[in-house]
Amino acid sequence: MSSVPELAISRRIRRTPFTERVEALGVQGYSIVNHTLLPKAFGRSIEEDYWHLREYVQLWDVSCQRQVEIRGPDAARLVQWMTPRDLRHAKIGQCLYITLIDQNAGMINDPILLKLAEDHFWLSIADSDVLLWAKGLSLGCGFDVMVDEPDVSPLAVQGPKAEVLMEKVFGPSVRNIRFFHFGTVDFNGTPLRVSRSGYSRQDGFEIYLDKSSLGLDLWDTLWEAGQKFNVSPGYPNLVERVEGGLLSYGNEMTRANNPLECNLDHYCCLDDSVDYIGREALQRIAETGPIQRIRGVIFEGNPTPPCASPWPIMADGKQVGHSTTVVWSLQLKANLSLAMIHADFWNTGQSIQVETPEGLKRNGTVAEFPLSFL
Amino acid sequence: MSSVPELAISRRIRRTPFTERVEALGVQGYSIVNHTLLPKAFGRSIEEDYWHLREYVQLWDVSCQRQVEIRGPDAARLVQWMTPRDLRHAKIGQCLYITLIDQNAGMINDPILLKLAEDHFWLSIADSDVLLWAKGLSLGCGFDVMVDEPDVSPLAVQGPKAEVLMEKVFGPSVRNIRFFHFGTVDFNGTPLRVSRSGYSRQDGFEIYLDKSSLGLDLWDTLWEAGQKFNVSPGYPNLVERVEGGLLSYGNEMTRANNPLECNLDHYCCLDDSVDYIGREALQRIAETGPIQRIRGVIFEGNPTPPCASPWPIMADGKQVGHSTTVVWSLQLKANLSLAMIHADFWNTGQSIQVETPEGLKRNGTVAEFPLSFL
């Protein structure tokens, strides 16, 4: 491996309403999600950012979580058709974690669905062009819906001090926003949607800025009010999310995987009560059960480099799975991998070996997932 | 602006069959296209790589040009429905530059279409998930087609010495492959599709490697044979492509633009002889003509930083367009921008001012596009 490469800049890789502030705060690394910059490093180690996230509050520019807006007479019908989750009892104001699958039950994305009205939804998406999927489906079916990507850029406020910071800026009503629900706050006369959610296991909120021109004001207001709570810039923390068992589309799963392999059984209606793309395929898989599932794997040795491609996981001299994301767990003081493991080897306590890129085979064991003992 | 940021590594950002060699050759920068690494720097300046490209031969890892495969009884029908280009006379073995548009005539992508058989096509795509668009359309319509992303990773061989290098490795039959056509060559017993095409104005080929496990062998074979032709690693060269008038989806145009704005009139059938998505919208636009078009803009001053977001272009004290990509032209020894310019101001010789991020207004003029005088 060469040294860490730079990111080439172009308009195609979109800046966000917050990029200017993120740059001023010394961003040193990005990932790209949905053709958009996602800050990933600010000059402190991931460990320092981890401990800070668990104690204070961070602002995350997660504008890359683009919204796919589905609106119109057939909106509810299209959204239900796109997901195995039973949405018949979904309420306005609710956020719902859903999977989107294709006709083979392969995962297309795993967005958060925001139900804005009976005929109006946002899908807050992971890294794939769900907009094109939804547009293609609705056009092909002749559904009476409008599908678009509105000017909405989420800003996440994450950490145990998130609530006091949000209250200071938006008033006490933010306390009434329940987990995986959203409400509306006032920002200098502009109403903004705010959900209690985020890509961490700490408390937190996501502010759906729907007017890019207010981005710097919004950032500055939170930043100034956050000084007394030791606010810092942050980003979805790899160590925290892996310890917390949060999946990442494109890392843990791709179109080659179905939701049952991702332990998302709870979000799949497997009887015939709702109709959705891939239902037959998913029912067939459920009959016999998936042949592999995501598990935790704890393994020995020094911290590894990042997992840039799946690493083979071996047992009894053959490959029984692959790692998808690997971190140095600060709770376990050991290497911790999310890994896709074959059914015959996924039981807790199973001995395995991880083949890391240095050519070493490192001994480890399968752990339950998520790691409830952390 | 802070210093150039690093790219965060994860499995989600896919490595290619050639990444190991690209790393060994000291890659220093990447862009991300279609969730895949695209090398963009190898330690020489873009100017050095430009002059090298125009004199010798380069290997480009353009695996990010993913193939969307459309196959089956309704394949030709689906492909024609997806593009305004009249495909009735397309021949097997032909590569065709096409636009994909939505029902509002907004650009979804601008791939190269490879016609493999009457019922079998590849779309060699720019940066958007055309796979999801095509899958959504075919599923919605109930078309009898298979839509997939096969294991195909293009390797481009570009530069005036490309033909002699290709001949040395694959034999003299490569000379018979005409521009924008493809043929088949033998690589150690494996047939590989090869087109005479590429994202430069130099001569060149693209090899569609459809077996990832052969990637390192293929690279090494071309690399060793290329030593006598002064081969080097390369990448789509920003200066060369802008001087050559090659567009980049996501930079010059987005879903907010239609093909006529991109000067792609020649690739649009505007009568009723073929049916495609967005035809009515495109016909309406054609009636009055587009209100803006891509032009070249030459402007004064020192080289600028990269154009990370559109820069305003002013005339008569108001905004009349925006720059999309800006380079220091080595032919003109001046700043050269591709720019979207309003109809009232797009004539060659029009005086304009470019507002660069330093806060300066730089004087310039509109040039015809492409820059045929280069």
ipTM summary value: 0.97
Hey, are the CB atoms on B12 and A41 less than 8 Å from each other? no
Strands A58-61 and A232-234: parallel
Residue among B1, B132, B139 with most chain A CBs within 10 A, to mutate: B132
The last residue of a domain, from among B242, B274, B300? B242
Considering the domain architecture, whether residues B184 and B325 belong to the same structural domain is answered as no
Exposure string over B126-135, b if 16+ CB within 10 A, otherwise e:
bbbbbbbbbb
Query: Is residue B183 situated within a structural domain?
Result: yes
| Residue ranges for chain A with pLDDT beneath 50 | 1-2
Query: Is residue B327 situated within a structural domain?
Result: yes
Other residues' Cβ atoms within 10 Å of the Cβ of residue A312? 15
Considering the domain architecture, whether residues B224 and B356 belong to the same structural domain is answered as no
Considering the domain architecture, whether residues B348 and B199 belong to the same structural domain is answered as no
Residue B164 structural domain: 19-65+152-242
Of A8, A127, A135, nearest to B29 by CB-CB distance is A8
The last residue of a domain, from among A242, A276, A305? A242
Nearest Cα neighbor of B294 from B234, B245, B357, B333 is: B245
CA B97 to chain centre: 10
Set of chain A residues whose Cβ sits within 8 Å of the Cβ of B41: 5-6, 8
Considering the domain architecture, whether residues A30 and A176 belong to the same structural domain is answered as yes
3-state secondary structure of B190: strand
d(CA A301, CA A231): 34
Of B30, B136, B249, nearest to A7 by CB-CB distance is B30
Query: Is residue B251 situated within a structural domain?
Result: no
Q: How far is CA B231 from CA A17, B157, B206, B220, in A?
A: 42, 9, 15, 12
Other residues' Cβ atoms within 10 Å of the Cβ of residue A318? 9
Hey, are the CB atoms on A12 and B307 less than 8 Å from each other? no
Asked if A15 reaches chain B (Cβ–Cβ under 8 Å), the answer is yes
Considering the domain architecture, whether residues B49 and B196 belong to the same structural domain is answered as yes
Considering the domain architecture, whether residues A193 and A339 belong to the same structural domain is answered as no
- DSSP secondary structure string, B198-228? -SSSS-EEEEEE--GGGHHHHHHHHHHHHGG
Hey, are the CB atoms on A28 and B310 less than 8 Å from each other? no
Q: What CATH code is carried by the domain that includes residue B178?
A: 3.30.1360.120
Q: Which helix (H) or strand (E) holds A186?
A: strand A182-187
Query: Is residue B129 situated within a structural domain?
Result: no
Considering the domain architecture, whether residues A59 and A160 belong to the same structural domain is answered as yes
Set of chain A residues whose Cβ sits within 8 Å of the Cβ of B310: 11
Nearest Cα neighbor of A350 from A288, A299, A289, A291 is: A299
Handedness of CA B127, B131, B132, B137 (dihedral sign): positive
pLDDT for position B4: 74
Residue type, A330: L
Considering the domain architecture, whether residues B183 and B57 belong to the same structural domain is answered as yes
3-state secondary structure of B179: strand
Q: State the Cα angle at B145 between B143 and B146, rounded to 5°.
A: 140
The residue count for chain A: 374
Query: Is residue B141 situated within a structural domain?
Result: no
Helix runs in chain A, H state only: 19-24, 46-55, 75-82, 130-141, 162-170, 215-226, 238-243, 279-288
Considering the domain architecture, whether residues A60 and A158 belong to the same structural domain is answered as yes
Query: Is residue A195 situated within a structural domain?
Result: yes
Please, which residues have CB within 8 angstroms of residue B53's CB and are 6 or more apart in sequence?
B158, B159, B200, B202, B234, B237, B240
The residue count for chain B: 374
pLDDT for position A88: 97
Considering the domain architecture, whether residues A156 and A32 belong to the same structural domain is answered as yes
Place of tokens 């890994």: A339
Query: In degrees rounded to 5, what are phi and psi of residue A234?
Result: -150, -160
Q: What CATH code is carried by the domain that includes residue B362?
A: 2.40.30.110
d(CA B318, CA B299): 17
pLDDT in tens, A167-211: 999 999 999 999 999 999 999 999 999 999 999 999 999 999 999
Residue window 300-319, chain A: list those with CB within 8 Å of chain B: 306-310
Set of chain B residues whose Cβ sits within 8 Å of the Cβ of A324: 11
Set of chain A residues whose Cβ sits within 8 Å of the Cβ of B249: 12
Tally of structural domains, chain A:
2
pLDDT for position A120: 98
Of B12, B41, B135, nearest to A250 by CB-CB distance is B12
3-state secondary structure of A342: strand
The last residue of a domain, from among B242, B258, B276? B242
Query: Is residue A110 situated within a structural domain?
Result: no
Considering the domain architecture, whether residues A237 and A302 belong to the same structural domain is answered as no
Q: How far is CA A317 from CA A312, A320, A323, A354, in A?
A: 11, 9, 17, 12
pLDDT for position B2: 42
d(CA B236, CA A76): 44
Query: Is residue A367 situated within a structural domain?
Result: yes
Query: How would you write the pLDDT of chain B (374 residues) with one tens digit per residue?
Result: 346 789 999 999 999 999 999 999 999 999 999 999 999 999 999 999 999 999 999 999 999 999 999 999 999 999 999 999 999 999 999 999 999 999 999 999 999 999 999 999 999 999 999 999 999 999 999 999 999 999 999 999 999 999 999 999 999 999 999 999 999 999 999 999 999 999 999 999 999 999 999 999 999 999 999 999 999 999 999 999 999 999 999 999 999 999 999 999 999 999 999 999 999 999 999 999 999 999 999 999 999 999 999 999 999 999 999 999 999 999 999 999 999 999 999 999 999 999 999 888 999 999 987 776 66
Considering the domain architecture, whether residues B302 and B226 belong to the same structural domain is answered as no
Structure tokens at A346: 């996924």
pLDDT for position B1: 39
